[in-house]
Structure 1
Amino acid sequence: MTRFDDQAASLRRLSLGNALSASFAFLGGRASGVTTLVAELGIALGVTHGRRVLLLDGHAGQPLLRRFNLSTSETLDTVLSQQLALDAAVSPLGGTINLLNGYARPSVLAALSDVSAHRVQSEYLALTRDTEFVLIDAPTQTPLLAAVAGDIVLVLSPDQDGLTETYTAVKYLVSEFGRRKFNVLVNRVHSLDEAQHWFSRLSTVASEYLPVSLRWVGYVPEDHWAKRATVLKTTAVQSFDTSEIATAANQLAHALPLWATGSGVAHELFSRLCDAARLLEPDPSEIIV
């Protein structure tokens, strides 16, 4: 019996079938491995489980694009600034998976005219018409994408810096956007006990100072095959399917419908993003000259 048997059995019991049009923002500290996790989970959903998936990269440096060894494309920021078609920021990953470079400065989103916003929203709706899951690699420093996602998954790494960075992001999302519910996935640990230890530490500090609910959704092991897949510009799910990281990714992909709470939000993501960016812009009447 492997150490994943208990987790796998639990996930199978809890999985509830389809959760159409669900969006999940994954965010964590700099060493939490969010990009690798989103890549592995996206491939597991699309290739292994046959789901229709959109991966959304919220970083200016386009780590997901580089993760798949694709040529640099436009970002949502340049699409909006230069009035390009949204397709210029989309890279097909094959089969049922697409990648959207969704980085955009909040100031650009907030300043978008109604006409331009309507055009891009229409193109986004066309892109996601048949999409079942949007997985967002969300930046922690400016977690605007996380704020508007249907569900948030905190990716916690087993170190003090990761704990601090994750808590800071949660505090911002609570204070600025009223988010209260967070899923927690512990990454790069060596055992279930270690994962539960770090989850407990985050739960303790968060519950003491913030009005939040944290839900444990699992853990992903430290695995050298994940690092090898990164170097080779592939995923462990595709190339090392018997590895611990591939097993964990497939189990989590099977359970992902359970995590979803916001039906239909994936199709509204762009319009919600623009609205949230405008909330961050100062009211001209309140600016003191």
Structure 2
Amino acid sequence: MLNLRGDQAAGLRRLFGRPRLRIVSFAAGSVGVGKSVSVANLAACLARQGKEVLVVDENSDDSVAAYYGVLVRHDLQQVVRCEKPLSEVILSVAPGVRVLPAAKVVQRLATLSAAEQRILLDSFGQIDRPADIVLVDTSLDHPLGFSPLGLAAHDTVIVVSPNGASITDAYALIKKVSLGYARKHFRILVNKARNASDAQAVHDNIAAVAHSRQLARLDYAGYVPLDESLRQASRLCQPVAALFPEAPSAMAYQNVASELLNWPGGDADARGLEHFVQQLLHLSQRIDPTAIYA
């Protein structure tokens, strides 16, 4: 006979013994703003603060793993097809930082069979080291206009650089997602800024327009300055904080990472990655491409 009371007690111990998981997606309205570089560096900074970080990477080119100099050989799609176990697909790129390549499977989430969905859920339930933070590096060219990974996350950070085209594209993305899916809260990370006041002005201007048109509330996530040390670290496939910890960009990423950990808990919960994947599958089945392109 099954010991249901014992099973329930063990389940509760696992649930309440977990730290609260925070899932943050990063998106951009256009290429060239440094979104993936920011994700890679923030992951390293969070790991330096003692967090176990999992990066779910939706990009096939300019991947986060490649930033660390690690070759991507497999994709989460091979897990769904029972070709590879999840342990062989997840890449350990640095102490405390793992990357899960997911570019191929995200493109077809809406068409997964019930059996494939179950395989996906079971795989995440068996992950060996639970993550404290999940950073989602979303793709700009998702076939539905905006990744369901961004909709399922607790927070969405829009990365923007301080030039007219980037600002316009970032606002268009916010408008599209707000009107299509009633997402009313985003955070703005200004990258490649000359100084703090310029970055703050970029956020304030976008936030004022979004507020006046009743689209969304935009909180300021911080900024990263133009920095030759960051470019040099990128060429060497290393986080800037590891090579040049006193560089302006390294200190900026450390500040953003610290602030991220203190963002209001809101929807963050202890149900883990399985719950995130359940939400992701639910959303992907219901995304209306007509609405998202409105």
- Which residue does the alignment assign to 1:119? 119
Which amino acid letter does the alignment assign opposite residue 280 of structure 1? I
Q: Give yes or no for the alignment of 1:31 onto 2:32.
A: yes
Select the structure with the greater relative contact order (CA < 8 A; seq sep ≥ 6): 1
Which amino acid letter does the alignment assign opposite residue 287 of structure 2? L
* Kept after mapping to 1: 8 A contact 2:65/2:93: no
* Kept after mapping to 2: 8 A contact 1:73/1:90: no
**Aligned-partner Cα distance in 1 for 2:202–2:79:** 40
2:266 to 258, 261, 264: 261
TM-score for both structures, normalised by structure 2: 0.82
Identical columns (%): 22
The equivalences for 1:151-230 within 5 A come to 151-230=155-234
- Which residue does the alignment assign to 2:245? 241
**Aligned-partner Cα distance in 2 for 1:122–1:189:** 43
* TM-fit CA distance, 1:183: 1.1
Aligned length, in residue pairs: 264
**Aligned-partner Cα distance in 1 for 2:183–2:104:** 21
SS in 2 for 1:279: coil
Unaligned runs of 5+ in 1: 1-17, 283-289
**Aligned-partner Cα distance in 2 for 1:128–1:173:** 34
**Aligned-partner Cα distance in 1 for 2:98–2:105:** 22
Unaligned runs of 5+ in 2: 1-17, 290-294
Q: Considering only aligned residues, what root-mean-square deviation do their CA atoms show, in Å?
A: 2.3
* Kept after mapping to 1: 8 A contact 2:188/2:219: yes
Which amino acid letter does the alignment assign opposite residue 262 of structure 2? L
- Which residue does the alignment assign to 2:45? 44
**Aligned-partner Cα distance in 2 for 1:19–1:202:** 34
* Kept after mapping to 1: 8 A contact 2:75/2:105: no
TM-score for both structures, normalised by structure 1: 0.83
* Kept after mapping to 2: 8 A contact 1:54/1:128: no
**Aligned-partner Cα distance in 2 for 1:202–1:19:** 34
* Superimposed CA distance per residue, residues 75-114 of structure 1 (whole angstroms, 9 cap, x where no aligned partner): 2234435653233431012332211112245562112122
**Aligned-partner Cα distance in 2 for 1:213–1:19:** 28
**Aligned-partner Cα distance in 1 for 2:107–2:250:** 39
